[in-house]
Structure 1
Amino acid sequence: MLENPRAPRVRAIARLAGKNVRSETGNFLLEGPQSVGEALTWRPELIVELFGTPTAVERYPHIMARAEDNDIEVEFVTEDVLDSMADTVTPQGFIAVCRQFPTSIRDIFAGSPKLVAVLEEVRDPGNLGTIIRAADSAGADAVVLSGRAVDLYNPKVVRATTGSLFHLPVAVGATLSDVLVRARGAGLRTVAADVKGGSLLEFRDSGALTEPTAWVFGNEARGLEDEDLERVDDIVAVPIFGRAESLNLATAASVCLYESAFAQRG
């Protein structure tokens, strides 16, 4: 059992909270039974190391069972050691070190996707993680990060996905112009969500959302640049019926993705 919170190995794992260390090692932190359980179920080959407290192992026997099924050893640690490794205040008993696994843009659009979320320079970790989770829930085929987006493997992003990171492919490092070209080449209609657009309700009623669609969402503060809006096929806005000034990006993205999911499923 690991008992020393100041041990070099513990400190090395804790440093994965920093982007530079994640880039150097190609690894990232995974915290909590929900996310660890999803990784064990869907992508166990990505797990490099898995740690748990005796209390957590007793409380979540299915984690141990999945680890054993995949020949992954769970190394016992004290609560103090787990706290020192974690980025959160309450890591809930489990931490894993995983390999990063971004998907290439080429592979995403070679797979004949029907619904893709494209995020241009999204900077807030909570927004990114929530949109990935919403895209997964809506049955989207992939998420693409373009421009200077927040790091996909930022601990706050990973936590906000609640395991959806392991359910659908996510591509990083693309330019929006390249993404739009590839989307059209794969037969997708490119639709930007922006306050300058027409009504989402009218767009839905036109039947356009039954087509394969790449939704494009812009930066939280600036939205999409005018030149980017000129590149897409359509621009639509989520209507606000109450007194709110605007919608949070993740909320608006969830609405748009589900409108496509409803339309495509008839």
Structure 2
Amino acid sequence: MKVSKITSHVFIYVLLVLGGLMMLLPFFWMVSTAFKTGFEAMQTPPTWFPKHLLWRNWVQTWHAAPFAQYLLNSVIISVVTTFGQVITSIMAAFAFAKLKFFGKRLLFWLLLATMMVPGEMLIIPNFVTLSQWHLVNTYGALIIPWLASFFAVFTLRQSFAQVPDQLYAAAKLDGASDWRFLWQILVPNAKSSIMAVALLQVIGSWNSFMWPLIVTNSETMRTLPVGLQAFSTDAGMSYPELMAAATFVILPMVILYLALHKYVVHGMRIGGMKG
């Protein structure tokens, strides 16, 4: 029995290691290609390591397009949309979890059903609406549609529901307002779920490509993912510079996720529990 248990553990660890290596392989290839010459990047069979580390690829990449402006736009949009979405989600989740009002259950299920609608179906209606508001090619077009998310509301609502109603009743008897109960009791107890929602929104906003491409038409409003188009021309693709630019885009989110991933795991586990 002991030998069988050890064998099963070894087998599981081998599978996990192989799976991890497969997940890391695209990132390794991206960084490796960023140091290669154009010939090495297209060579067949492919080479895993560059013969010489071409650091100039990174310098040329940074100056090939206004990446400083792209970076600034991405930071502004990610921070504002995340902050706005967290605030609206916290207040909506509190209403669905603790407050009582007419049509609450029906409204919750109707909003929950919207999660089944593909985001691509909303692109045209959102674009038409923003066009009528004269917000195309502005920060407003890049921020306003993402200030609310029912996925975030649902996750936080499940977390808030874990707090006993007796605690809410006791706080009300002690004279605490709904606002005070929310920010002093519920929010601190749901810190992991809030961090998970915020992190997922930051990553989603940072990596967004389709929407910024559609609603912006000038270099000053482009974001980092859209800026990768600068390396695709009629003459072909500059793969070393493209991979260097992709590294610029991905690296901040990789670092952020590695630093905060425990909140995602814990927060999603709590949010998935029945409220």
Q: Which TM-score tier does this pair reach, normalised by the shorter chain?
A: under 0.3
Give the alignment's TM-score, normalised by structure 1. Answer: 0.22
Give 1 or 2: higher strand fraction: 1
